[in-house]
Structure 1
Amino acid sequence: MTKRKENAVKYNNTSARYAILDELRGLDLVSMMLYHGCWDLVNLFGIQADWYYGLPGHLWQQSICWVFILLSGFCVQLGHHTLRRGAQVFGAGALVTAVTLLFMPDDRVVFGVLTLLGSAMLLTGLLEKPLRRIPPAAGFAISAVLFALTRNVSAGYLGFGSLRLWLPQTLYANYVTAYFGFYPWWFYSTDYFALLPWLFLFWAGYFLYGVVGRQRMEPLHCSVCPPLGWLGRHSLLLYLLHQPVIYGALLAVFRVLGS
């Protein structure tokens, strides 16, 4: 093989999508759709399911958001135009908020996961140069520690376990403070992901990319389940559409069963 062909093959391999990452995102999207379908059944159709608001449901919900946010941060360095992508996702989050406020005010979404991801992408794009100067292993460790320390800011303190630093209640004032993680008692949202602590999980994924390294990611080019990959590549559109589609399908089923 000539050197030109070797370079061409190398370029094609590194420029191709990492199919496993798309499929992992698609799998997480399916899990999220099932979780939201259960939410509809419990909250809108009156199905009794104590496990949903117990530990099993909590672990399910956390697994979805952890994978989604960590993977989003990881994939930032695989793409381009981070600021533009962040603006698109943030705009999609604003659309979700507007629609729920207009048509489902009792189940409104304020500062949901799309708003978080859009904000994280915008901040990462703006801070890209200083972030790239941080060694990946150190960045990952620092982000993980900061995520753990800020995990309970919504509960009023920094730290974990018995190590707690209580924060002044004046921080928990309004919608602006709620955006950062300090929400007042009257704040309500059915899907709430503030900058703190979730930005640090996003950045943990961002630095994890450097820890893993592109060479060790070569096996991720191989596809295991193409349909999941398709879902993963269209995750933003599917996220916007899945809830009304699921609700409509469940409504039709319950009307048929009730007739």
Structure 2
Amino acid sequence: MAAGARFWELDVARSGAILMMVVYHTVYDLYAFGGYDIEAVSGPWARFADLTAGSFLFIVGVSLAISSERDLSRGGMRFAPYGRRALKVFGAGMLLTAVFLALGMGYVVFGILHLIGASIVLAYPLLKARLSNLSLILLGAIVFGSGLYVLGAIGDGSLPQPDTAWLLPLGFVPQEGFPMPDYRPLLPWFGVVLFGIVFGRLVYGDAARGKLAPRRTAPAPLRPFVFLGRHSLLFYLVHQPVIIAALALLGVITL
């Protein structure tokens, strides 16, 4: 397979996650800015948001598996490309942090972009060391299970809330609390990335290592979705202003 070759079906899957995100954020904006009686932050819609985030993170893991298998088959992994990718995504997350603070829309301290950037850095040594699939599954289960425990224990009071925000990346929300419209801590969500890595190795490992012929191009009806998936970060950054502006122009929300 040619250097840098992409799997179009992953771009299509990524575009599907983007469309799910657009649906959820439209509902959320109707709730937050329009005052509509929608349970956007709890119940089924909250689970839909979790499913959307999990889809993104699983695909991140698959992509990391493909990149690492390709690099390892060519002599080894260098941190620089992964570090640049992580810095780009994390930097985009910090941009959103600044925008939300400036507009008084809440605190995006450790949202999904921060998480993806951190996950790339954390996954790098595991991939470089060729940690086995079984080990990654076990580690992913520990990370995911720990996150669920922390969430439940803080919720029922059996685990005290910290008085510092420094533990937010691990899922510990401080006592004073503050509105966080986008919060995806490493516990449990890094576990989903690890599961995606295992899936990517199993499904795409041989192709990434050049042992299979390149896949054909995407069918014509799917090519717009391939384009959307390939530019997912840009669409992520601009989709909320576009949704809010569209809803305001339609008169269904008031800013």
Aligned to 1:184: 174
Amino acid at match of 2:183: Y
Residue 47 of structure 2 aligns to which amino acid in structure 1? Answer: L
Stretches of structure 1 that go unaligned for 5 or more consecutive residues are 1-10, 158-163
Question: Could you tell me whether the CA contact under 8 Å between 1:20 and 1:222 is conserved in 2?
Answer: no
| Contact in 2 for aligned 1:173/1:182 (Cα 8 Å) | no
In structure 2, the CA distance between the partners of 1:46 and 1:186, relative to structure 1 (3 Å rule), is same
Say if 2:112 is the partner of 1:124.
no
- How much does 1:237 deviate? 0.8
How far did residue 200 of structure 1 move? 1.6
- Post-superposition CA distance 1:22-50 (Å, at most 9, x none): 00000110110111011111110112224
Q: Which residue of 2 aligns with 1:96?
A: 96
* 1:206 counterpart letter in structure 2: I
Pair 1:110 & 2:95 matched: no
Question: Shift in Å at residue 136 of structure 1?
Answer: 1.4
In the superposition, relative to structure 1, how do residues 151 and 43 fare at CA in structure 2: closer, same or farther (>3 Å)?
Answer: same
Q: Are the equivalent residues in 2 in contact too, given 1:111–1:191 (CA < 8 A)?
A: yes
| Structure 2 residue 251 is matched with structure 1 residue 254 | yes
Contact 1:21 1:220 in 2 (8 A): no
1:64 aligns with 2:55: no
- Aligned letter for 2:128? K
RMSD of equivalent CA atoms? 2.9
Count of residue correspondences: 235
Using the alignment, how far apart are the partners of 2:251 and 2:30 within structure 1? 10
Q: 1:252 to 1:234 in 2, by over 3 A?
A: same
Q: Following the alignment from structure 1 to structure 2, what is the Cα–Cα distance between the partners of residues 179 and 22?
A: 28
Residue in structure 1 matched with residue 26 of structure 2 by the alignment: 37
Identify the residue that residue 24 of structure 1 maps to in structure 2. 13
Q: How many angstroms apart in 1 are the aligned matches of 2:186 and 2:215? A: 30
TM-score where L is the length of structure 1: 0.80
Corresponding residue for residue 194 of structure 2: 203
Contact 1:137 1:211 in 2 (8 A): no
Q: Given residue 184 of structure 1, which amino acid in structure 2 is its aligned partner?
A: P
Moved more, 173-182 or 147-156: 147-156
- Displaced runs of 4 or more, over 6 A: 216-220
CA apart distance, 1:126: 4.7
The residue type paired with residue 20 of structure 2 is: S
Question: Which one-letter code corresponds to 1:251 in the other structure?
Answer: A
Deviation at 1:53, TM superposition (A): 4.5
Aligned-partner Cα distance in 2 for 1:248–1:33: 13
Match of residue 223 from structure 1: 218
State, as a whole percentage, how many aligned pairs show the same letter: 30
For residues 140-170 of structure 1, the C-alpha deviation after alignment (integer angstroms, 9 at most, x for no partner) is 243134313322313436xxxxxx9x54x26
Which structure has the larger Rg over C-alpha atoms? 1
Instruction: Write the distance in 2 (CA, Å) between the matches of 1:36 and 1:246.
Output: 8
Residue type of the alignment partner of 1:70: F
Supply the distance in 1 between the matched residues of 2:133 and 2:126 (Cα, whole angstroms).
15
Match of 1:144 in 2: 141
Q: Which runs of 5+ in 2 are unaligned?
A: 72-80
Alpha carbons of 1:119 and 1:136: their partners in 2 closer, same or farther (altered >3 Å)? same
Q: How far apart are 1:184 and its partner, in Å?
A: 1.1
Report the alpha carbon displacement of residue 55 of structure 1 after superposing the two structures with TM: 3.1
Contact 1:154 1:181 in 2 (8 A): yes
Partner of 1:3: none
Secondary structure of the 1:176 match is: coil
Structure-1 separation of matches of 2:105 and 2:100: 8
Contact 2:146 2:187 in 1 (8 A): no
Q: 2:241 is paired with a residue of what secondary structure? A: helix
Q: Give yes or no for contact 1:140–1:207 (8 Å, CA) kept in 2.
A: yes
**CA gap 1:181/1:208 in 2 versus in 1, 3 angstroms:** same
